[in-house]
Structure formats: C-alpha cells, structure tokens
Structure 1
Amino acid sequence: MIKFRRAFGLVIVGVLLLSACSASFSEHKAEIKEQVATTFESQPEKTNNSTKDIEYYLPSSFKVEEETPNNVLLKDGSKTFILFYNQHEKEDSKVVYDSTVKQQKEWDANETFTKDGKFGYMLVKQLKENRYQLIVGIGGVKLTTETEDVRDDAEAMMDIANSVKIK
C-alpha cells in the first residue's frame, strides 16, 4: 500500500509539474507566427482533392466530411475545420480578411503576411482556457477551427490555404 501511495504521489507531482511547464499561446505567439509565415512563403503542396471550383492539398489525416458551395467541411480526428473560398477573390484580396476581422473587436493574434502578390493572415481568439478560435487564410480562402493546439493546426491550415487553386 505504501508503494502505491508513493507511486500515486509521484504521478500527481509529475502531472502538476508538466501542467505548470506547459506554455500558453501567448508564450509561443512569435514562434507560431514565424512558423505560419514560413509555410505561407513556401511552395504550395501538390493538390490531391478538388471541388467544382477549387483544387487543394489535404494532409493524409484530414477527411472531407461535406461539400457545399464555397465551403468544405473537413475532419481530422475529432477536430472540425471549415474551408471557405470565394473564387472571385484573388490571392492578394483583403475582402475575406477585413470581413472576418470586423466580427471580433479584439484578437489575441492578428498577423498578416505578404509575398509575391499574395496576402495571408492568421487570427487567434481565446475562447476559454486552452481553447482558441483559429482562422488562417490567403486572399479569398479561409480555414477556421476551434483548437487547443494552435501551433500544429495553424501550420496545417496554412498548408491547405496555400495550396488552393481556383479552377
């Protein structure tokens, strides 16, 4: 019984130490911005999915759940992502970004990127402790999700947004 109590106590201490060491979004904000900017500036992934209007890259863990005009509902495990596109807006358009920014008064992150005639962005809003609304886009393309893992999801979402090609 004493060994069990010690082991249980060590597990509790370990969990407390790990939770105290886990960094918040604000501590990693600059790193995440740099990671998303690098993905934005990189060569787009080769497309492997399409709708009536667009072709796009989808990482292997993502699945198409539903397609409607201008929207593709994606799943990655239990996470849901919405891929919105306006095929009339070019890669340098700020229309989707401007309308999205106006939906919230304040964002925990409002980062923009430009390169070679493309306009990209990342918006993050904390919803509750360790839960964030994450929006990533380029021109007339926008991906939205709710997540606890802003870093990994932002990079994957920018990979998808960067790959979208209007047919």
Structure 2
Amino acid sequence: MRKGIGIKPIIFVLVFILLAGCSLKSEKEALKDTEEAAKQTFNSSEDIETNKKLENFSLYLPEDLSVKEATASNVILKNGDQTYIVFYNKLEGPTSKLNYKSAQRDEALLIKSFEDPEKFGYIRVLSSEDDKYELQVGIGGVKITTYTDKSSMDEDGKNLMKIARSIAETDENKEANTD
C-alpha cells in the first residue's frame, strides 16, 4: 500500500484558501469603505479632545501613535513601521480649499470632498508600490498623509480625519490663526 498525503490535509488547505480569499476586500470595496469612514468622521458631531500639545498647536493623537519629530508646521507620527506626516498651515482656515486643489493634480483612485458651514475636508487615495496606497486626508490648512494597505485603509482614513478635525476645530489652534 502506498502512503499518500491523505484527503484531510488537502481539504483543510482548500477550505483555508477559500476562507482567506473571501475575507479579502477588493480595491473597490476598500476605497468605498474608506470614503464612508472619512465622511462619517468628518460629519460627526462628536467633540474631539486634543491630548497632545506641541509647541505650535495641539492635536488628538490615537493611543497607538507617537510623535517622532515636530517642527512649527510639520509633525511626523509613527505606529511601528507606519509613518504619518502631518502638515498644518496656520494661515489657511478650516474652510480653505488650497490643499484639496493641490491634491487634485495627481491621478487619484479616490478623491472626495466634504463640506459643512465650519470646515472643508477631503480624502484622496493614490496607488503606490507593493500593494500599498498613499492616503491623504485634509481639512482646511491641515493635511495628513500615510501609506496603507487595503485591509487598514478605512481605519487609517477614519483616524487621519479625526486627527485633522482635532487640529482644525480646536479653539486654541483657531485663535493662533488670527495672530
């Protein structure tokens, strides 16, 4: 009698591949989910408390992010290997469309704007190398960029919009705009 691999391990591998394939988002689904997450966060009436005071402005910083470097208008945030770049132009108020107009120059997989009487925001996603995506979120003079993958894109979009809102909506930062 020949000894073979057996049917059970083959069935197990096939079921695993099938389940793994079903749980992966398509690019189209990831973009749609990311747009919706950013839109909901932009439109949320929830107050976002800043929890990190820098020399020139304050912001909300999710628990898993840390400040690596900060200058007058730029902050580099880290979460493991992932880097987030925050740019804050105090001369541009929350309703400014300058960053959005600049973001439209590139070939985007997604570019969507959001607006209410107090602020103007957007989300942009560009294709990058190695199944990565450049994700940029902005509100007025605030622009935040990171590289992400399909599985994390919607959560990153939500967090970036939350950080951008915290900077754009904080009274302390608004008062700095009037100097």
Structure with the greater alpha carbon radius of gyration? 2
Choose which of 47, 52, 57 in structure 1 pairs with 2:50: 47
CA RMSD of aligned residues (A): 2.2
**Structure 1 contact 134–154 (Cα < 8 Å) conserved:** yes
- TM-score, length of structure 2 as denominator length: 0.82
Partner deviation per Cα, 1:114-157 (whole Å, 9 max, x = no partner): 01231000000111463100000100001100001211100011
User: Given the superposition, is the C-alpha separation of residues 53 and 8 from structure 1 closer, same or farther in structure 2, using an over 3 Å criterion?
Assistant: farther
Question: Structure 1 residues 4 and 129, CA, compared in 2 at 3 Å: closer, same or farther?
Answer: farther
State the 1:78 CA deviation: 1.8
The one-letter code of the counterpart of 2:31 is: K
Query: Counterpart in 2 of 1:37?
Result: 39
Q: What is the CA–CA distance in structure 1 between the aligned matches of 2:32 and 2:156, rounded to whole Å?
A: 15
CA pair 8-72 structure 1, distance change in 2 beyond 3 A: farther
Find out whether 1:93 has 2:93 as its counterpart.
no
Partner deviation per Cα, 1:33-62 (whole Å, 9 max, x = no partner):
222111011234100112222111001111
The answer for the alignment partner of 1:123 in structure 2 is: 124
The one-letter code matched in structure 2 to 1:7 is P
Check whether the contact 1:120–1:137 (CA below 8 A) recurs between aligned residues.
Answer: yes
In 2, the alpha carbon distance for the partners of 1:123 and 1:129 equals 18
Looking at secondary structure, tell me which structure has more strand per residue.
1
> Equivalent residue for 2:13?
11
Instruction: Report the Cα offset of residue 5 of structure 1.
Output: 7.9
The residue matched to 2:143 in structure 1 has which SS?
strand
Instruction: Say yes or no: does 1:80 pair with 2:111.
Output: no
Q: Does 1:69 align with 2:64?
A: no
- Specify every segment of 5 or more residues in structure 2 that has no aligned partner in the other structure, as ranges: none
Aligned length: 165
| 1:159 alignment partner in structure 2 | 162
Alpha-carbon shift at residue 65 of structure 1 (Å): 0.6
Q: Could you state the TM-score of these two structures normalised by the residue count of structure 1?
A: 0.87
Aligned-partner Cα distance in 1 for 2:38–2:132: 19
Among the aligned pairs, what percent are the same residue?
35
Match of 2:141 in 1: 140
Is this contact kept in 2: 1:137–1:161, CA < 8 A? yes
